[in-house]
Amino acid sequence: MKIGVLGTGVVGRTISSRLIELGHEVKMGSRSANNEAARNWVSANGENASNGTFGDAAAFADSLVFNCTKGEYSISVLSLAGEYNMEDKVLVDISNPLDFSRGMPPRLSICNDDSLAEQIQEAFPSVRVVKTLNTMNCNIMLNPERVSGDHNVFLSGNDVSAKADVIDLLKSAGWKVSNIIDLGDITTARGTEMLLPVWIRLWSALGTTDFNFHIAR
């Protein structure tokens, strides 16, 4: 598949490299087509790797666009990417509304009665938003074997076929179907985004980011 990845930070680069490993063509998007991190990433990742503007990356995608931007910039980046470049495509939203402006630990800039995923879906109604993967470190997202035993990935979204497409990708990355939990519509993203505060405290308590939530039953 041709997949667009928005964001050149550690999350965007980790996701992009793993998508290349899985056999996809990836165009990494940033504000400038000349972004140094993106150019370095392209150099290191072979012929299936390319980069361009946010709009270039969104237009490149057959169907899947990953939002790997920081939550505070997500709406503005998606505006730059252009809703017309993502119409009917699936936006895999792995961002979190973390606000570091008051120091550590970060607070959430949106929570409780709203979520970043809902704000994105509302701002770009023709895009099919699926919130997922935001509850774990980026090294685990498309490489679940990194954490031993069963653990879970959650899905939130209004479009059932969009979630099915994301499930197919997750399966190809190593996720067992029984460990993928569809929570329901996009409002359920409130719950997964609100996992971040305890995730951050667990990072401190455990001294590692190599952990993930598992729902034991």
Residues within the interface to a second copy (CB under 8 A): 107-108, 111-113, 147-151, 154, 181-184, 188, 190-192, 194-195, 197-202, 204-206, 208, 210-217
Nearer to a second copy, 48 or 211 (CB): 211
Nearer to a second copy, 62 or 150 (CB): 150
Nearer to a second copy, 83 or 185 (CB): 185
DSSP alpha helix (H) spans, 65-142: 71-81, 116-123, 138-141
**Cα-flanking dihedrals φ and ψ of residue 94, to 5°?**
-110, 15
| 187 DSSP 8-state letter | G
**Smallest gap from residue 211 Cβ to a second copy (A):** 4
Nearer to a second copy, 39 or 107 (CB): 107
**Cα-flanking dihedrals φ and ψ of residue 45, to 5°?**
-125, 15
**Smallest gap from residue 128 Cβ to a second copy (A):** 20
What are the strands of the beta sheet with 153-157, ordered from one edge? 49-53, 25-30, 2-6, 64-67, 90-93, 128-132, 153-157, 180-184
**Smallest gap from residue 108 Cβ to a second copy (A):** 6
Cβ atoms 128, 157 nearer than 8 A: yes
Nearer to a second copy, 177 or 216 (CB): 216
**Smallest gap from residue 207 Cβ to a second copy (A):** 10
**Smallest gap from residue 33 Cβ to a second copy (A):** 38
Cβ atoms 54, 80 nearer than 8 A: yes
The candidate with the shortest Cα–Cα distance to 22, out of 142, 188, 104, 117, is 142
Cβ atoms 5, 12 nearer than 8 A: yes
Nearer to a second copy, 88 or 150 (CB): 150
**Smallest gap from residue 159 Cβ to a second copy (A):** 17
Cα–chain center distance at 131: 7
**Cα-flanking dihedrals φ and ψ of residue 158, to 5°?**
-85, -15
